[in-house]
Amino acid sequence: MKKFLVAVMILLTVAGVAHAEQKKSAWSPELRIGLASGVDKVTLKVSAPCILLDAKSGKRIDKIPAGKDFVVDCAKLKVDAVEIRPKEIRLQDLITTVDGKKYFGGVRLNKVKKSLTVINLVPTEEYLRGVVSKEMSPSFPLEALKAQTVAARSFAMKNRRRHEAEGFDLCATTHCQVYDGFCEFESIERAVDETRGKILMFGGKIADANFHTDSGGMTENVGDVWGTAVPYLVAVREVVKLGEPWTVKVPVKDFSSRFGDGFGKLKSVKLSTLTIGKEAVDRSSSGRVKSAQIVGTKKTVKLTGNDLRRKFSLPSTLFDMKLDGGEVVFTGYGHGHGVGMSQVGAKSYAQDGWSYEKILAHYYHGAQLKKSY
């Protein structure tokens, strides 16, 4: 009996080690993330021995020892592109420091017009850790972090090769998704691991899992924001409690000057009163501004909600606009375009005990959750 128990314990230990090993080094598709361009020199440091390769021929150029600064100078580089990849371990287990900042994976350097484009070669799952940590606070409930991870993974897989002309897949800014590289938060690691490979699909294609900060009470039909309707990106009501409204005040003189000399001075603004979830001629079904008339002493201008949002740096298009004495006062709710998942809403639903699957089903109507690897 004792022998049997020992044998079981050994087996369990081996299984445990094997699981830990597997979890640590599981494969996921490799992404090329553009970090910087127009760089003369890069200082790199790797966590394990690496090889510097000619990216075209695959030939070894040099060995890179672990833990020491290694400088690549564009002026001295004899080939068009090089890659730094681990010699003995897997790419996902390597950490590369690029000019003082840590990243999972290796690096590729492309020579472009006598300077370097710096690209992080990183497996998708490790990339997601550096994205989710920038999109949500690691202190958010786990199910909200998981919903965010699935949205970010779907975006990355759908938009892969978006920057192909520049030699990489995605950039590290808001243009694609903000990516911060190495991340050590346990909650985020768990959110990524527990949704491994899962993406949203619709009609056999990867869904556009758009997300934003705060819907302000109701999300928006994508067609009312970017012009083309998508079945799973439709306005949904939020049951979460409304936050305090935001206010932006613009002096009439500054407001008028934004419309050019032919506009004159602002006389009045024409926009119906906001009721969240109530459609009007000038408002979408969520209540966001579709258009508003701005009447000047010389002419009247018709602007879309998006135009106004851009022109006056408004947090959202879910607002009221009034001329009050010497100021134009915008009062509104929410933050961001309002399409897809609201991060504030996801947090609130997760606190109410919703699973990430339920959160995603609420925001991406009819989209299916599928494991892609």
Contact residues toward Zn ion (CB under 5 A) are: 171, 175-176
| Closest C-alpha among 50, 55, 84, 81 to residue 67 | 50
User: Which CB atom, from 42 or from 171, has the smaller least distance to Zn ion?
Assistant: 171
Beta-strand runs (E) in 191-326: 198-202, 205-206, 211-212, 246-251, 266-270, 291-296, 300-304, 319-324
CA distance 294 to 112: 47
User: Which CB atom, from 151 or from 234, has the smaller least distance to Zn ion?
Assistant: 151
Query: 202: which residues sit within 8 A by CB, 6+ positions away?
Result: 231, 232, 364, 366, 367, 368
Pair of tokens at residue 196? 């491994």
Residue type, 177: Q
CA distance 98 to 44: 5
What's the CA dihedral at 363, 366, 369, 372 to 10 degrees?
Answer: -120
User: Which CB atom, from 32 or from 198, has the smaller least distance to Zn ion?
Assistant: 32
Q: Which residue has the tokens 């484009």?
A: 117
User: Which CB atom, from 41 or from 175, has the smaller least distance to Zn ion?
Assistant: 175
User: Which CB atom, from 167 or from 223, has the smaller least distance to Zn ion?
Assistant: 167
Question: In the bound complex, what is the minimum distance in angstroms from residue 218's beta carbon to Zn ion?
Answer: 29
User: Which CB atom, from 156 or from 367, has the smaller least distance to Zn ion?
Assistant: 156
Enter the DSSP assignment of 131: H
| Closest C-alpha among 299, 292, 302, 285 to residue 323 | 292
User: Which CB atom, from 181 or from 287, has the smaller least distance to Zn ion?
Assistant: 181
Question: In the bound complex, what is the minimum distance in angstroms from residue 175's beta carbon to Zn ion?
Answer: 3
Query: Rg for the chain (alpha carbons), in Å?
Result: 25
Question: In the bound complex, what is the minimum distance in angstroms from residue 165's beta carbon to Zn ion?
Answer: 11
CA distance 285 to 333: 15
Question: In the bound complex, what is the minimum distance in angstroms from residue 159's beta carbon to Zn ion?
Answer: 8
DSSP reduced 3-state for 316:
coil
| Closest C-alpha among 200, 199, 240 to residue 219 | 240
CA distance 96 to 67: 10
Question: In the bound complex, what is the minimum distance in angstroms from residue 271's beta carbon to Zn ion?
Answer: 34
CA distance 143 to 128: 16
Question: In the bound complex, what is the minimum distance in angstroms from residue 208's beta carbon to Zn ion?
Answer: 15
Question: In the bound complex, what is the minimum distance in angstroms from residue 174's beta carbon to Zn ion?
Answer: 8
CA distance 147 to 357: 7
User: Which CB atom, from 169 or from 320, has the smaller least distance to Zn ion?
Assistant: 169
Question: In the bound complex, what is the minimum distance in angstroms from residue 32's beta carbon to Zn ion?
Answer: 12
Question: In the bound complex, what is the minimum distance in angstroms from residue 269's beta carbon to Zn ion?
Answer: 35
Pairing of strands 115-123, 106-112: antiparallel
CA distance 289 to 165: 36
User: Which CB atom, from 176 or from 314, has the smaller least distance to Zn ion?
Assistant: 176
Enter the DSSP assignment of 222: T
User: Which CB atom, from 164 or from 352, has the smaller least distance to Zn ion?
Assistant: 164
Question: In the bound complex, what is the minimum distance in angstroms from residue 310's beta carbon to Zn ion?
Answer: 19
